[in-house]
Structure 1
Amino acid sequence: MKKIIGQLKPYVPEEPAESVKARLGVDRLVRLSANENPYGTSPKVREAVLDYVVNNDANLYPDGNASALRAKLANYWTVEENQLVIGVGLDEVISMVNKTFINTGDSIVISVPAFSEYGLNGLVEGAVIREVPCIEATGQYDFGAMRKAVDDTTRIVWICNPNNPTGTYESVEDIHKFIGTLPDNVLVIIDEAYIDFVTSVAVPTARVLLDEFPNVCIMRTFSKAYGLANYRVGYMMSSAELANYIQTIRLPYNLNTLSQVAAEAAFEDQEFLRATVRQNAVERDLWEQTLDEVKATYYKSGANFIFMSVPNVEALADEWLAKGYQVRRGQRENWLRVTLPPADDGVIMRSVLKDYMARQ
């Protein structure tokens, strides 16, 4: 066993919903701790999946190249098909990136708090993780400090945009300036899992940087705005050279056919995506207005969640849980990450928040 494995803690899944409901005596549990899409999945996905199941057996392996999905993505993003790496969620893609490019003793630079998989997969491959605190007041990336953390050992810099868990969005211009200061042999991987939710700018994606910087990679997922968390489909765009290196270690048949069919159908239903983004933006505004009203601390979000803090925040989380609303704890002391719920649930949760703050 690798020595580092004995030092890591295994991922502990959330308590099953039925178990939580029984323990709390509630009839309904709304999970707002995993940043899933509370508006469900495009009905076109259900139709496509059912059609496939009815008309096909499961005795054959899936298309190992995910050819149809690959062609749709390449056409949409105006990249070559060999510039795409498609994985079982971004978790698999992140793992493949680290396996491909990290040697023992290399360093990885991340802003913290951050998505834990960046550091975890780096540690497994023997990397030194250099954590750079975000700007405390705003939650934004401290690009100056991140640049200072980069040296001759650095192989990867991770940029999650909008960032998980802070929800903050970094402009393409600021990312461009930062990348321009880095050595060419440092990979900059921009994780845009939540980018569809950004409404503050017309074109939030950093796709354009792929054409200028051969060391830039951009990750996207179907798990969030497209509502396909259960189907586990993520992908990365990069130069053909970098993608080819990763493809050499990708497991054959990694993405099953149902996931491919679901992703194709979801990608074609852009109206479902737009409706999700519209509803999320309305709720995000209402939450930020309420948080301002009760004088809570939070970061301006471009995502489908808000990172917030109030006095004795665990007590607030418990009160929400007693009402059937489960939020994410433990990513920073005395902070919560709240996936934005649909309108009716938002009214209830904000009412609980107001009552709680009135007692503080």
Structure 2
Amino acid sequence: MRILQALFFPPEQPGGVSSMIPYIQERFNKIGWPMELFSLPKRVRGKGQEEIVFETFDPKAFEGHPIVDKYLQTYKDYVWWTKLRMTKRFDLIHAHHPIAGLVMKQLYPDTPLAMTIHSSYERELILNGKIEEGSPEHRFLTSIYRELEVKADKILTVSDSFRQYLKPYMEDVDRIKVIPNGFDEKRFKPISHENEVVQLITVCRLVPAKGLDILLHACADLKRKGHPFVLHIIGDGPIRPELEQLALQLDLYDDIIFYGYMLHPEEFMPFFDVFVLPSRAEAFGSVFAEAALCWLALIGTNVGGIAEQIDDGVNGLLVPPEDPAALSEALEKVITDPVFRYNMARHAWNKAKKVYSLQRVISQLKQVYVELKPES
């Protein structure tokens, strides 16, 4: 069976799809199922001109809003690029972004399409203050889910909580199969170490949705209580200047290191003690599983896929979102009790190896692919 993995942009960013799809490709190729990757280069802008026609709603009704217009132009660019560069035929296409999925079904209607919805662009935009709930942009982006439901032969997503999130926008979410992300264990090499001062780490894009302002306020509270720590922030994004300024205001300048973007943070993580990320929303939260495989204690918010990965008090600690006091208390627990911290990290590693193995993902995907194309 020849399979195409249709991505949005090239898999060169850390986390989520990029941390998984190239390794899935490698495993399938080894077992004799040829698999290729296809994506839209970031340099392709403004090339597509074809009119877009959807079956379940009229996208023209939402034109005139910058985010919608950019989305539609990217769709047209994906059509243009696919027609230009796709020279092979595949037995099955597995898409990992709504644009990729809808374009592939438009151009290759007779090829079975599996579609994994990894996250909600509209929810991220709302949390990042770019759009308002119920706005035309929000209604456009959520209408895409129904279009996917009609066009895709099989819909997948990464967590039970995200499947429930989709319920208002689809007619039958019970059709959706949940396949949590999986990770190649060979990438993660836990290192036995003892840090005199507890080292906290977070890895994310620096945007409001990740709740790093909450983390800094929690760290300021820790410092006032006299608990030493160092916070390492890996990632970049539009609010980095604001976060750096907040760190100065909270007297945390000497306790935080901003690293910027890093291609393979998993090579760095094993030297730290605690992974913490107080996201305001998260469909899955791949970085938690990655941190667990690096043998770190986990602290996250009780939202989305994070709450499915962390069993509170066993392999990590869950706190409410938007609650710096609760986050500070959780951090205090792991900083002041190294045995508790070690045991949580051990349980996190055990669960991640068992539940988030790449081999489990390969097995589940093979089943989906055979169901969609049984004769191959």
The answer to whether TM tops 0.5 is: no
TM-score by length of 2: 0.31
Instruction: Kindly indicate which of the two structures has a greater share of residues assigned to helix.
Output: 2
Structure of higher RCO (CA pairs closer than 8 Å, 6+ residues apart): 1
User: What TM-score, normalized by structure 1, do the two folds share?
Assistant: 0.32
